[in-house]
Amino acid sequence: MLSLQRVIGYFHGTIILFSIIIGAGIFLAPKGVLKYSSLNVGVSLSIWAACAVVSMVAALSHAELGTTFPRSGAQYYFLKRSLGPLISFSYIWVNLFASPAGTAARSLLLAGYIIHPFYPGCSVPEMPKKCLALAIVWCLGILNARGVKEVTWFQTLSTVVKMAVLCFISLTGIVLLVRGRKENLARFEKAFDAEVPDASQIAEAFLQGLYAYSGWGVLVRIAGELKNPGENIPKCVITALTLVALIYLLVNISYLAVLTPKEIMSSDAVAVTWMDKVIPSMQWAISIGVSSSIFSSLNCTVFSSSRVLYVASQEGQLPLILSTLNVHSCPVVAVLQMTILASFIIIPSDLILLVNYVGFIDWLQLGLMMTGLLKLRFQEPDLPRPYKVRLPFVFGTIAMSLFLVLTPILKSPNMHYTYVLLFLFSGLLLYFPFIHFNLNCPYFNKITCFLQLLLNVSPGDDIDEYISAEGTLQKNQPEIAAKTE
């Protein structure tokens, strides 16, 4: 029987969540929080801790979506159920392009980081960087096409590598503090003596810090492949985010134990500068840590984003071919679509700006999801909810969403947000004819049949379990890929 398999337990769920949250940020760009904290060490560390709390509250609120509807792409299905098909299509429209754009941008970052040692003292040429980025994207596609077991195995291995590097940085920093010089200790003894940032700077610092914690919604996207999601999603969120918060604080303390705030601000890669000061001969370890972090985070993005396309196809808002599975129970066509789009975006690198155009929509979408959660709480109070978040957490997440969406708009209004709105409304040109009015093309079925034969895929025998409006467990019947004539 072809179906998405529930093979991810608590351990591998925590590994996946840990892998996607810890990307390149903690190695390359921790100076963002310090910059907007006015180089105030105490405020900077406090914001890192506060971002951990905000992320935990938002993640636990978000977890109710995956436990109430334990199916892959639960965010999309939840929006359709609570706020209607138009909102859910807008969500899928953004993710259809934002996920490949983000994958392309990080692939270019990783390629540049790998190639840079071969071009000392000069900038990396664009052609070899883009060729390597394309190779990285297609390696990710092939790995994901092999199925969930290979993905989880790789994530475990890469997490061990990045954990080893991060633990080395953290423990070295603690040792240097205990046995360090007076000026290093004075930096922490007088942590709050520097200039205190104003409210707008603190908001900017929060945006920087929360970006480093982003990715905590991945388990809700893959809820259909989790064992006992009602129990494991909240447990994985608490475990992973607690570990991430502790590591982020220790690594930042370690940076500050070795480098002055001004040295951090002048560095393009803080971890590399830190290693230059501590053990210059061990710079290769930082390179391995950064490469492993970016690649494993990319792998999680491809894995989870393909599941959103998979369920949107099942719900009839994307072509049916995207909900077909290969022999490894992987939605390989959805993976292939993401890989091809990311490849096209890599070639003209200026299109990477698309990442900036849709970036703030993440928190806008989260606010919509929390609004939908409140709506279902009142409309369907008897809906089975294995995990039920407290309402103050939901209201706090909505307030944070409004703060992060409205603050940059009110503080510095520009054409950036007009482009985002135009991009969102452009999806309506497809929604109304093909989804709302169900316009069908006679060639669609023939194309679907051809691609099924070409790629050796077929519709799943099961479409994830879900909770019906009456509060009972049901299963959708498998759909037929093409009509015979």
Q: Which residues contact 472 (CB under 8 A, 6 or more apart)?
A: none
pLDDT in single tens digits along all 485 residues of the chain: 567 788 899 999 999 999 889 887 787 668 888 888 888 888 889 999 999 999 999 999 999 999 999 988 899 989 999 999 999 999 999 888 888 888 888 888 888 878 877 777 677 788 888 999 999 999 999 999 988 888 888 888 888 888 888 899 899 888 888 876 666 676 677 767 777 787 778 877 887 888 788 888 899 999 989 999 999 999 999 999 999 999 999 999 999 888 888 888 887 678 878 888 888 888 788 878 888 888 888 999 899 999 999 999 988 899 989 999 998 889 999 999 999 999 988 877 544 444 445 456 778 888 999 999 999 999 988 888 999 999 999 999 999 888 877 876 777 676 766 777 787 788 888 899 888 888 877 788 888 899 999 999 988 765 444 443 333 334 443 333 333 33
| pLDDT for 328 | 87
Predicted local distance difference test score (pLDDT) of residue 118: 79
Helix (H) or strand (E) holding 357: helix 354-359
State the pTM of this model: 0.83
Alpha carbons 340 and 273: distance in angstroms, whole number: 36
| Distance from C-alpha of 360 to C-alpha of 267, rounded to nearest angstrom | 26
Across the strands, what pairs with 226? 8
- The pLDDT, as a whole number, for residue 193 is 73
Instruction: Taking the CA atoms of 143, 146, 150 and 155 in sequence, report the sign of the dihedral they define.
Output: positive
CA 156/CA 146 separation, integer angstroms: 16
What's the token pair of residue 288?
Answer: 């391995």
Q: What is the CB-side half-sphere exposure of residue 194 using CA atoms within 13 A?
A: 21
Structural contact between residues 1 and 462, judged by C-beta atoms closer than 8 angstroms: yes
Instruction: Name the nearest CA neighbour of 220 among 377, 73, 7.
Output: 73
Residue 471 has a pLDDT of 37
